[in-house]
């Protein structure tokens, strides 16, 4: 894992992207 390399903002963006992806996959 490279979470330590990512910044809070980056993690937040990734989280948002994952959320969108999950929603798209569910649909």
Q: What is the pTM of this model?
A: 0.49
pLDDT one-digit tens code per residue, 4-27: 666 888 888 988 988 888 888 776
**Residue-level pLDDT at 5:** 67
DSSP string, 1-23: --GGGS-HHHHHHHHHHHHHHHH
Looking at the chain, the number of H-run helices and the number of E-run strands are: 1, 0
Quick check: 1 pLDDT over 60?
no
Domain extent at residue 19: 1-26
Question: What's the domain count of the chain?
Answer: 1
């Amino acid at each position: 894992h490279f979470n330590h390399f990512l910044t809070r903002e980056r993690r937040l963006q990734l989280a948002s992207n994952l959320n969108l992806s999950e929603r798209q996959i569910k649909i």
